[in-house]
A and B are shown apart, each in its own frame.
Chain A
Amino acid sequence: MIRIDNLVKTFGAKRAVDGLSFEVQRGEVLGFLGPNGAGKSTTMRMITGYFPPTGGTVSVGGHDVVEAPLEAKRLIGYLPEAAPSYPDMTVQGFLSFAAELRGLDGGARKRAIGRAVEQCFLSSVLHQSIDTLSKGYKHRTCLAQALIHDPEVLILDEPTDGLDPNQKHEVRNLIRELGKTKAIIFSTHILEEVDAACSRAIIIDRGRIVASGTPDELGRPLDEVFRRLTLSDTAPRAVPTVKRP
């Protein structure tokens, strides 16, 4: 569903993303790991068509994101990092707006909103204006927007950020459940989430893949592997994949 080939993004002299290539199939949940500033959000912004790539290609469902942006974007549900939303709108109004932009009308829109509200546990705040909501609710409102059109591809930038432990648990379950029928990429700093929700994970550092595989293949304990690969400046740079011997 998602194919990324030799993706590069530079900001001035800085190479934020430096030749990434990977694929995500339907039925896969790809955990996207890496320290802050490793290029996770930049990569996701290129997949969703927000940033034009400096080099390389992204295709979603066979549509090149640069050549056929609308076709690609229709397949994608996207939760940006800061989970932005329009604060003066109600949850209902915001989701209705998102559904309308996704081309859902009448009964289909109503059903879509109902489903997303249920998936993200928003029914109690449906008619509240977004700026009165707590951070967790704001976050889930934006997540609901990403799910509204039941997309085939989900790009979730730190979907569990700012949630309490119960909510984190629910969202992980939701991602795992959705992952059975969709192609999902989600980024996280929380390594347990890789075990809890991912079928595969990629660790990136300074714009390059330093490890990729199932959580078991990456090695145990995960946080030690993560630190070894990303923390030190002298960490091995030329290791494209880590496979268990």
Chain B
Amino acid sequence: MNSALHTIRTIAKRELVSYFTSPVAYVFLVIFLLLTGFLTFTAGAFFERGEASLGAFFGWHPWVYLVLVPAAGMRLWSEERRAGTLELLLTMPVTAWQAILGKFLASWAFLAIALALTFPVVVTANVLGDPDNGTIFAGYLGSLFLAGAYLAITCMTSALTRNQVVAFILSVVICLFLILAGFSPVTDLLVRWASPAFVDTVAAFSVVTHFDGFQKGVIDTRDLFFFLSVIGFSLFATGLALRNR
């Protein structure tokens, strides 16, 4: 057990360091912070809302992550396949699960770092008004799980192919579906043709539906369970995809 943890940590450490020894980390962080800042303060009308909350900030996350998380995760397994290091890694005394977990956790930690660097938004809200910091915390937690779900899906598509572009496009499409299934303009449209029960069932698969609660400050175990199931299922599928060598 200890050696399993040691292995996972070793793999995760290498992966996390590799983000920062390549330009990927810096490009990602700059774009992520600029984009969330821009969307929050201009398009999200942070100031004009006249309320001390981060609704304008978190509301954009499913969309910002839609492009950026697959971009951050697409190389995870594709690159190992392309460079042949997959063979090296899996012939070490390492199980596929240890490698999958190690790489996933490293990328998730990287996304957590990016998310943590948005702290100036929290500071701004606290300087200008008196927001509910519990709600903000719940929002951050939800956002982290949202990013984790997208990332796990990207892991899965990345394990399927040695081509990073294919991995990127596949994961964007899957994540987009997971947004649109519960996105109100889409569900409003669907309701005209389908029974409300059907629309609700489809919406239950949407990350938006489950992210909403967090934004309102509610940490519901069912929402947590949803995100953890998406992560668990996707990582399991990653394992199956990696069996194809």
Can you give 26 A-B contacts (C-beta < 8 A)?
Answer: A45-B87, A48-B91, A49-B90, A50-B90, A50-B91, A69-B95, A70-B95, A73-B91, A73-B93, A82-B84, A84-B88, A85-B85, A85-B88, A86-B14, A86-B18, A88-B18, A88-B21, A89-B18, A101-B7, A101-B10, A101-B93, A101-B94, A102-B93, A129-B21, A142-B88, A145-B88
Residues of A within 8 A of B10 (CB): 97, 100-101
Cβ of B21 and Cβ of A89 under 8 Å apart? yes
* Closest chain A CB from B6 CB (angstroms): 7
Q: How far apart sit A5 and B14, CA to CA, in the bound complex (Å)?
A: 37
Cβ of A103 and Cβ of B3 under 8 Å apart? yes
Among A97, A100, A101, the one with the most B-chain Cβ atoms within 10 Å of its Cβ is A101
Q: How far apart sit A101 and B83, CA to CA, in the bound complex (Å)?
A: 19
Q: Which residue of the partner chain, among A49, A87, A100, contacts B91 with CB atoms under 8 Å?
A: A49
* Residues from 182 to 206 in B contacting A, C-beta threshold 8 Å: none
Instruction: State the B residues within 8 Å of A (CB).
Output: 3, 6-7, 10-11, 14, 17-18, 21-22, 83-85, 87-88, 90-95, 245
Instruction: State the A residues within 8 Å of B (CB).
Output: 45, 48-51, 69-70, 73-74, 76, 78, 80, 82, 84-89, 93, 97-98, 100-103, 129, 142, 145
Contact of A98 with B92 at beta-carbon distance under 8 Å, contacts A84-B83, A103-B6 already known? yes
Q: How far apart sit A209 and B91, CA to CA, in the bound complex (Å)?
A: 25
- Measured CB to CB, the nearest residue on chain A to B20 is A88
Q: Which residue of the partner chain, among B3, B18, B87, contacts A50 with CB atoms under 8 Å?
A: B87
- Measured CB to CB, the nearest residue on chain A to B94 is A101
- Measured CB to CB, the nearest residue on chain B to A76 is B91
Q: How far apart sit A165 and B84, CA to CA, in the bound complex (Å)?
A: 26
* Closest chain B CB from A226 CB (angstroms): 27
Q: How far apart sit A34 and B64, CA to CA, in the bound complex (Å)?
A: 53
Q: How far apart sit A93 and B21, CA to CA, in the bound complex (Å)?
A: 12
Q: How far apart sit A185 and B164, CA to CA, in the bound complex (Å)?
A: 35
Residues of B within 8 A of A82 (CB): 84
Residues of B within 8 A of A103 (CB): 3, 6, 93
Q: How far apart sit A74 and B91, CA to CA, in the bound complex (Å)?
A: 9
- Measured CB to CB, the nearest residue on chain A to B84 is A84
Q: Which residue of the partner chain, among A45, A74, A84, contacts B85 with CB atoms under 8 Å?
A: A84
